[in-house]
Amino acid sequence: MKFFVIGDVTVDHLYHLERIPAPGEEVSPLRASMQPGGAGGTISVTLARLGHSVTLGARVGDDPFAAYALRLVRESGVSESAVQTDPDHLTSTITVMQTLDGRRAMISSGAANRQLDAARLKKKDIESCDALIISAYSLIGGPQREYAVKAMGYAQKAQVPVLIDLGTGAVNAAGQRLMDSVMGADYILLNQHELLSLTGTQSISAALATLAQRGAGKVIVKVGAMGSIVWTPEETELVESIPVEDVVDTTGAGDTFVAVFAHAVLSGKSLAEAARSANAAGALAATKVGAQSRSITEADLSTVLAK
């Protein structure tokens, strides 16, 4: 299948700590590394490794970090025909501080990604794909939002399925302003915190009722250790998590979830079956350091799901 993915590519600076430092405090990490990341990059790499044809719509700076941010995009065979180079803004970077119990603090810079030029979007790229996947970071504002909205319009006219993944940073930045944008998607994927923030409600049931009133069709809610919830106007189902051993880094696990859900549901699996595969993939992704380090294969998924 052919996918067009719109989202960030970044260089992630990862610091694993015993605790998040207080203001003014200096601490030494248990482990530190630099990895390629970003929702757009990670979703694209995961889909390409599963054998799909993938085009990535993103923007990097004209700097040394660009090649590193795109390293695994290139190695996995993702098309860079829609990757733009910005002469004035740096390649995006993210600093992630994560403790052993999973608490995180992050510093992120949208930088070049936010300048994605809609004038360079090719209509035929959207019309010819089997699905359009958009990271909601692309919908926060500026030129990148214009690009994403334009792509959604092309997809809807061509009846190409649209999947939108929210992302905590996007919801924190734009909040309920994202509501109108995501309602145009065939599939909305988000975690519990994002769901409540997006809808301004206090419970999952109330949030889903709000989305129903706004016309949502299919919603997939990531609920951490519980797994995920799949919702349509006709049914709601909790899909249990898939436990794995040796979890070391959750960076990019949610993006891997999105990619494998898209892979499974576009391959004909039911929502619940696709969510179960995605649960397994997200868990596997957390067994290596870095958003794109753990390659997910059909054999991996079959082995984990058979347990």
pLDDT band at 133 (very low <50, low <70, confident <90, very high): very high
Number of domains in the chain: 1
> Where residue 225 sits, what CATH number does that domain have?
3.40.1190.20
**Domain around 76:** 2-305
> Number of C-alpha atoms within 13 angstroms, CB side, residue 224?
6
Strands 53-61 and 131-135: unpaired
Per-residue pLDDT tens for 66-77? 999 999 999 999
Phi-psi region of 46 (alpha: psi -120 to 50; beta: other; left: phi over 0): alpha
What is the mean predicted confidence (pLDDT) over 123-134? 97
Contacts of residue 42, defined as CB under 8 A and 6 or more positions apart, other chains included, come to 252, 255, 256, 259, 291, 292
Say if residue 84's pLDDT is above 90.
yes
290 pLDDT more than 80:
yes
pLDDT of residue 158: 97
What is the predicted pLDDT for the residue at 49? 96
Q: How far, in whole angstroms, is CA 75 from its chain's centroid?
A: 19
For the residues 125-141, what does the mean pLDDT come to?
95
Going by their DSSP bridges, the two strands 131-135 and 2-6 should be labelled as parallel
Using alpha carbons only, give the angle 85, 162, 187 rounded to the nearest 5 degrees.
130
State the DSSP string of 35-57.
Answer: EEE-HHHHHHHHHHHTT-EEEEE
User: If pLDDT is split at 50, 70 and 90, which confidence band does 161 have?
Assistant: very high
Model pTM score: 0.93
Asked if the model's pLDDT at residue 126 lies above 90, the reply is yes
pLDDT at 211: 94
Q: Confidence band (pLDDT; 50, 70, 90) for 115?
A: very high
- Best mean pLDDT range from 27-31, 92-96, 129-133: 129-133
- Residue 100 pLDDT: 81
Whether the predicted pLDDT of 249 surpasses 80: no
- The reported pLDDT for the residue numbered 301 is 87
Per-residue pLDDT at 67: 96
Higher-confidence position of 290 and 262: 262
- Better-scored residue on pLDDT, 69 or 301: 69
Length of the chain: 307
Strand order in the sheet with 31-37: 31-37, 10-17, 92-99, 104-109
pLDDT (average), residues 135-160: 95
Q: What is the pLDDT of residue 245?
A: 78
Proportion of the chain above pLDDT 90, given as a percent: 74
Q: Please tell me the distance from the alpha carbon of residue 130 to that of residue 86, in angstroms, as a whole number.
A: 28
Running DSSP on this structure, what letter comes out for residue 130? Answer: S
How far is the CA of 78 from the CAs of 3, 39, 112, 174, 292, in angstroms?
A: 10, 14, 19, 29, 13
In which band, very low, low, confident or very high, does the pLDDT at 242 lie, cut at 50, 70 and 90?
Answer: confident
Q: What is the reported pLDDT for 157?
A: 96
How confident is the model over 30-56, as pLDDT tens digits?
A: 999 999 999 999 999 999 999 999 999
Does the pLDDT value for residue 246 go beyond 90?
Answer: no
Q: Which two tokens stand for residue 225?
A: 């250790």
Across the range 250-277, mean pLDDT stands at 94
